[in-house]
Structure 1
Amino acid sequence: MVEEAPIRLLVAASGTGGHLFPAIALAEKLPEYDIQWLGVPNRLETQLVPQQYQLHTIAVEGFQQGFGISSLPILGKLLSSVLKVRRILKQGKFQGVFTTGGYIAGPAVIAARSLGIPVVFHESNALPGKVTRFFGPWCHAVAIGFEAAAQYLPRAKSIYVGTPVRSQFLDDNHHASLDLPIPDGVPLIIVFGGSQGAVAVNKLVRTAAPAWFDTGAYVVHLTGENDPEAESLKHPQYIALPFYNNMAALLRRANLAISRSGAGSLTELAVCGTPAILIPYPFAAEDHQTYNAKVFTQAGAALAFKQSELTPEILQTQVLNLLNSPTELAKMGEKAKAIAIPDSADKLAQLVREVVER
């Protein structure tokens, strides 16, 4: 009896943790599949993916200024990328494509559809990106991270599954392995700006933090790697790190988070039930982080402030008010947890199986 070859899936996910982590979480839920990866040179996937999956790379860029003479080289790269992805799909005999959007989705979707290969698209933001809105109707299914996204995809087959998180977030015992010098029982504030860090938020926090220390609170500040002043604040209750691997344990221990509102970060906050003050990144494409934050503020799970209107004094006062209202923090945490879909990766994996195998 001849054993059937595993189904081959090409995952096109590139750039930031917000695109990569959901794709990795999905891939881990499809152990019976032969999965390979499509990325871009010199992006985060070149560090995260090769130890688990074969990585193919293409040179593709986004059309930041619309079409014109200056975009001809980008268009040339796009056409070249489509042809390269077609070759990868044909030579590898792939039976499906999964993408989390961004620049890489265009060549992946065009190449797959030109070969009659089914595509599942995952969009994690409440306001779908231009690439999702354009290519969504070409795909067999568009899985969405927030229910609010469906209204912007009227011609696509959208299915609400939430956004998958890394497996560490689904392990309730992970809090035991928090290896930072934080005493039991003290209030803990965690500050993070997503996988890219957030220099403007870092400055606000460093100015406001001394008043929080006076209440006995500790601050774990994940500064990212691009902040030249990352080492400028010194205090025994202040821990500054460029990043920290065990985010699940940290978010579960935290009484409050101060964060950007990228979809990946919000999903992690929700799964861990962590109340938050959100500061949407003001230069995000089409201001999509503000739309994401709105989902949380409307649910009562977070407060949100425009970066342009937030001063150190306002941030300082808002944090102190919340630290002095443990009942309010607990309610916000419960409401955050109510937004979460902990089995999102399972739902997304099942959708991929239904589309690819039918």
Structure 2
Amino acid sequence: APDAMIATGGIAALPAVIAGAIQGTPVVVLEGNAVPGRMNRILARFSRVVAVSSDEAAVGLPAGRTVVTGLPIRREIYTASREEGQRAFGLDPSRRTVLIIGGSQGATRLNRAAEEAVARLASRGDLQVIHQVGGGWDGAGRAQTPAGPIAGIRYVRVPYLERIGAAYACADAVVSRCGANALAEITACGRPAILVPYPYAADDHQARNARRLVAAGGAVLVPDAQLTGEVLAGEIAALLDRPGRLETLGAAARSQGRPDAADRVVALVSRLAQATPQEVRG
């Protein structure tokens, strides 16, 4: 039997977690969202500890079993240099950069608003945009908004961000949905953000994820129903043009980050593998 198990959710984890619990193997469940998912709530019943991203996530989970660790992310997400990012995307070091993340499958509403925002900001020679559109975007906007220089602005569009750490490193601000991984990355990198929660997420967990960062002063929230190119362009301009605004939001975002989350989880699992349940919970 293994010395310990880590489960990240999903129904496929259930048989293994139950088997581990029957054998007495310590199980750690990772929950990155502010609202624990249905399957993780079930897995938590068989776990010794649930590693959560915030105290809010502990609500609804077995009492006394949660530990705030943050959500582990890859080290390369937050260790790349600004110069490395600028080289990777062919950017101008003298301009400020906005990173727009549409997700691996794309987000039609967000992508459309981003393209419209770029068109509205076309005259800005101090701005460049990296737009990750995802594989699900059909490219309908390409005829309207070609990649490359558009009047003054520089626009770089890519399907995927294979080097997302480099993208964060050169970004002055980020526009994103509010999944657990995205927020863990944004805060670990200390980037100001414009957050657009996906409105159909289970238990509205994306809005709940965003709430803590917005309350801390590290992000601006734009509800999906209000998202248009005009609104997004206005929010981007407000971040860039108000003196000190980027720095203030970035510092607040960094204060919420846990780049050491992976180390915390490893330490927790190591301790579990050598301790009794009473020692861990006590």
Superposition TM-score, scaled by structure 1 size: 0.70
Determine whether 1:206 maps to 2:123: no
Q: Aligned match of 2:45 in 111, 120, 137?
A: 137
Structure 1: which amino acid aligns with 2:6?
F
Deviation string for 1:169-194 (max 9, x for gaps)? 342x5433221121112011110033
Q: SS of the counterpart of 1:213?
A: coil
8 Å CA contact retained: 2:102, 2:131: no
Q: SS of the counterpart of 2:20?
A: helix
Determine whether 1:282 maps to 2:199: yes
Structure 1: which amino acid aligns with 2:42?
F
Looking at structure 1, the residues matched to 43 and 89 of structure 2 have their Cα atoms a distance apart, in angstroms, of 44
RMSD of aligned alpha carbons? 1.7
Q: SS of the counterpart of 1:335?
A: helix
Looking at structure 2, the residues matched to 356 and 197 of structure 1 have their Cα atoms a distance apart, in angstroms, of 40
Determine whether 1:104 maps to 2:12: yes
> Any residues of structure 2 matched to 1:327-338 within 5 Å, and which?
327-338=244-255
The match for 1:175 is 82
Deviation string for 1:251-286 (max 9, x for gaps)? 121111110000111111111111011111112111
8 Å CA contact retained: 1:105, 1:131: no
8 Å CA contact retained: 1:194, 1:262: no
8 Å CA contact retained: 2:191, 2:253: yes
> Any residues of structure 2 matched to 1:1-358 within 5 Å, and which?
93-155=1-63, 157-171=65-79, 173-178=80-85, 179-216=88-125, 217-229=127-139, 231-232=142-143, 233-234=145-146, 235-236=148-149, 237-358=154-275
| Gapped regions of structure 2 (runs ≥ 5) | 276-282
Q: Moved runs in structure 1, 4+ residues, more than 4 A?
A: none
Change (3 A) 1:177 1:125: same
Q: Displacement of 1:340 after TM fit?
A: 0.8
The match for 1:31 is none
Superposition TM-score, scaled by structure 2 size: 0.88
Looking at structure 2, the residues matched to 270 and 138 of structure 1 have their Cα atoms a distance apart, in angstroms, of 31
| Gapped regions of structure 1 (runs ≥ 5) | 1-92
Structure 2: which amino acid aligns with 1:210?
A
Q: Displacement of 1:137 after TM fit?
A: 2.9
Structure 2: which amino acid aligns with 1:181?
G
Q: SS of the counterpart of 1:152?
A: coil
The match for 2:278 is none
Structure 1: which amino acid aligns with 2:133?
T
Looking at structure 1, the residues matched to 74 and 243 of structure 2 have their Cα atoms a distance apart, in angstroms, of 29
- Higher mean C-alpha displacement, 162-171 vs 336-345: 162-171
8 Å CA contact retained: 1:133, 1:153: yes
Looking at structure 2, the residues matched to 350 and 190 of structure 1 have their Cα atoms a distance apart, in angstroms, of 33
Q: SS of the counterpart of 1:190?
A: strand
Looking at structure 2, the residues matched to 329 and 116 of structure 1 have their Cα atoms a distance apart, in angstroms, of 49
Q: Displacement of 1:132 after TM fit?
A: 1.8
8 Å CA contact retained: 1:139, 1:156: no
8 Å CA contact retained: 1:280, 1:290: yes
8 Å CA contact retained: 1:277, 1:302: yes
Percent of aligned pairs sharing the same letter? 32
- Higher mean C-alpha displacement, 274-283 vs 133-142: 133-142
Structure 2: which amino acid aligns with 1:345?
A
Deviation string for 1:216-237 (max 9, x for gaps)? 2111100110100264421411
Deviation string for 1:201-220 (max 9, x for gaps)? 00111111122231221111
Structure 1: which amino acid aligns with 2:101?
F
Structure 1: which amino acid aligns with 2:123?
D
- Higher mean C-alpha displacement, 237-246 vs 107-116: 107-116
Looking at structure 2, the residues matched to 325 and 211 of structure 1 have their Cα atoms a distance apart, in angstroms, of 18
